[in-house]
Structure 1
Amino acid sequence: MTGLEGVGGCSGENSTVVESREWVMSAYAAEGVPTSDHLKLRTTKLSLDANSIPDGHVAVELLWISVDPYLRTRMTGHDDGLYFSQFALNEVITAFGVGRVIQSKNGKFSTGDIVVNPFFPFAEYCIAPPTFLRVIDPTAGIELPAYLSSLGVPGFAAWVGIEVLGNPKPGSNVFISAAAGGVGIFAGQLAKLKGCRVVGSTGTDEKV
């Protein structure tokens, strides 16, 4: 994270701007692995002065961001009827993230609150609307990255697969493909907790 710096152009005793690095979708990647031709890292300056934040919004410092497989489907340039639309070109991409409120103009959020949001920008700092923001308790004994893994998209996908769709009975044989992946790891554990015999596969021996 970059540090704050005073800015004379903003009003108030604590007038500040911050340099924030962010990832932008510059071109779609229909096939293969996206490269620097498709995703660009840029640095912008963001005012954190209260007068620069719209009413109801909060300024957030991003602490953790989740790089999930579904993000790749939003970079092809082709809408295939999926729930999430394609990322807009020349706009910052978004993902599940955890951040800290550093300035608030919303009575539901206070400075210092730890919040989770499924649509945080891939950036170091942002101004976020209250939609989808949820306060989490940092003293609950749950490490913050867990809200993006076991309690995030991978854990939820595994839970749906095992508990809702599969619903195996104790003693059943359960096969997990891509067992070393984010979803597979949790799916295997959930099946074991249900008393199943779990067999997993991976793409390479190194992943075993």
Structure 2
Amino acid sequence: MVLLSIGLTAGLLFVGTCGAVAVARARGGNSRAWGPRSASLIEKIMAGLFVFVTGATLPGLYVLAGIVSGTPPKWLPFVTGALLLAGCLLIGRLVTRIRWGMWSDELLTDFIGEAMPVIVTAQRRAGEQGAELVEKMRVALREGQGRDALRHAVEVRALVETAALPEHAAWTKVSEQILYWEHGHLPARGSRTRGLLRAKDAPTG
């Protein structure tokens, strides 16, 4: 009975996860579709208690529905309640991550698409070394993978900066924007870039 009750609860969570992911992907990354506002701390606590209590009642509901037989152990409601609460928290994090990723891709696809002519011009002025990166950027833009396009743009930027070309107003603006979006949407790469910039700007003895 215990294993069956826990298995049924886990099955419900699996179905809920699939449904939540499908809904998140269908709604896309548009922040206006996320809801009017974020829940307050009290609302989050109340929602957590509601989920836990709901999970705690599942073993009794399984018995009433005739799915399982016997009397549930006294500790089983606490297990199913904690399982349902943990599952809902994981679903929430997963959905938020999916929605944020989609929003980030949409935003960066627009930015890179608009900046593409300037990036291509700067790359050609710096040499042919970054031609493959530019082509990868185009492929990423066609597929709507804005973060991948930004990663390639960061590499192109590094090549252009290394080439030490004469200052150009359009490229200077795009270069600063690439660095800005890198810090916000590619945190690992952004940290690495900040370290390189600090090392570059550090005084030499």
Alignment TM-score, normalising by the size of structure 1? 0.22
Larger radius of gyration: 2
Name the structure with the higher strand share: 1
Bigger relative contact order, structure 1 or 2 (CA pairs below 8 A, ≥6 apart): 2
Name the structure with the higher helix share: 2
